[in-house]
Every structure is written in structure tokens, then in C-alpha cells.
Structure 1
Amino acid sequence: MKKLLIVSAWPFHCSLALAIPLHASFDPGAQYAIVEISGAPERLSVITQRTGISGTSYSARQFNCVTRTVRFMGSATSLQDLASARPDDEETPIFKGSLSRDISDVACDSTSPTPTNPAHQQAELSASTH
């Protein structure tokens, strides 16, 4: 049975409260999930939850989906303590095979604009096949 963590999202705040499971093959004894995504693609804040034999912990990362970089903002055993975690000084590239890559693949895709004009979609499809 899967557990769902509910995080409150204030009205008028660009935040998405959810629980999207992540697969982490390097840590088979733990379950990972994205529990909150907020902000714009150039400065996307993502909170993840890890549940394993040692308990539950939370981590925050800030992604730049445009430049494909990440800044680790800290980790804690509760969402309240996460607010006072100390962030890294710099952004780093997102490497293939990393947890940050798995998170960014989901989070950045959830904030990507999608064309709503069918003619625009057809033009993109035609361009990709030539």
C-alpha cells in the first residue's frame, strides 16, 4: 500500500502539492517521492521525501530547468526543520544517473509549457520528421 503525504498549498502561491514516487536503483531499501514543486522553471524548488529503514527525511533542491543545473538547499528529518537547513553555495550540473536527474526529469517536465495551438503542434511534428 502506498502512502500519500499531503502538503498544504496556499491559494495564490505557485505551488503543487503531490506525492510522485521516484525510482532510486542506488538505494533499493528506500522509497523516494516528490512532495512539493513550486516556482518558475528558472528557479524551481522541489522537496523530496525519503522513507527507509532509518526513518523519513526530506531534502530540498532548487533547479534551473533551462540551464539544467541544481542547487542543494538542505535536508532534515521534518518539513519544519527543512526551512532552517543550510543550502550549498553554488549550482552544479545535473548528472545522468543521479537522484537530481530523476527529480528534474519529473519536476521540469511538470512546469514545461505545452503548445495549445494545433497548427503549432503540427508544425513541430513536421519539423521533427524532416
Structure 2
Amino acid sequence: MTSGCPAPAPTYAQQQMRAGTIAAGLRHLLHYIQSEPAVGQALALIDTDDLRGPLDGAGLQLLLHEIEAEHDRCAALAERDARRQEAGHLDGAACTCGHSDTLHTRHMTEDDRLPCHRPGCRCHDLIFELR
């Protein structure tokens, strides 16, 4: 059972050990980058502002999952905008099913559709009629 008190601040000796461990890991990584430039090129693509936690397999898998989800969401929104523009509509135009585009999913299905998620709607994709 925890007492609810915050953990004591690390001592300078503990911080020194942690910094030394991180420095050793970075030196090891730099060695691999020098011997295999593709590793350095791959790491250069990663914005460290997006990292939370250790740079280990689990941390990279979590980051990859989050980035792929963001990619999919942005792809769906870009597709929605492109469809709206091709049909000559402004933001918020309704799909042929009558529902606003905001009621359609923000993630494309595996077959590149943006279905309406309003209960009872049989629309299977976001479609705008040409004006």
C-alpha cells in the first residue's frame, strides 16, 4: 500500500548514474550509426519531441502505433477535403446520405472508404454530389 506521498527527489549521485547510463547508451548508438549509416538516416527521421519514455522496442512500437494512427487520421481528413473540393462544396457540406461529413469516420477503412457512423445510416462512403 502506498502512502500517497510523492517520491523523494533523486540525489545527485542517482542523477549522475542515470546520466552516465544514458551517455553510455548514446555512445553505443553512435558507434552503430558510424558503422551503419542507414541507422543514422532512420533515426534522423524521428522527432524526439514525440518520444515519451525509453527508446526501446516497446517504446518504439508505441510511437509507431501512435504515428501510424495519426497518419491514417490525416489521410482520411485529406481525402474528405479532396472529395469536398472535387464536388465544389465548402466545409461542412452534407454527404448524399444527408449527414454532415463530420459524422463520417476519420479513419479510412482498408478499402479506402469513409463510412457514415450514424446509427441506422446505410451510407457506406462519404460521397458529395457535384453542384
Q: What TM-score results when the alignment is normalised by the length of structure 1?
A: 0.25
Higher share of residues assigned helix: 2
Which structure has the bigger radius of gyration?
A: 2
Q: What TM-score results when the alignment is normalised by the length of structure 2?
A: 0.25
Higher share of residues assigned strand: 1
